[in-house]
Amino acid sequence: MQMMQLNDNCYVFMSSVNVGFIHRENQGMLIDAAIDRSAIRKVVRQLDEKPTYYTSAYNTCTC
């Protein structure tokens, strides 16, 4: 899964299921993180390798 930086605070993890990530100082939010469990595991592993915190998640599912 490739992590692409969009600007200073916004990233997207690109694969078959894209997951967004926005951070500011010590807080970070995952966007559409609950769509695919294997995808979110990969995202969390990558974020754990960086000095970044994820404190919340926002899902846009309209199910």
Q: What is the pLDDT of residues 9-27, one digit of tens each?
A: 999 999 888 899 998 888 8
Contact predicate 29/21, CB 8 Å: yes
R_g (Cα) of the chain, nearest Å = 11
Rounded distance between C-alpha atoms, residue 20 and residue 53, angstroms: 14
pLDDT band with cut points at 50, 70 and 90 for residue 63: low
User: pLDDT category, 62, cuts 50, 70, 90?
Assistant: low
pTM of the predicted structure, to 2 decimals: 0.78
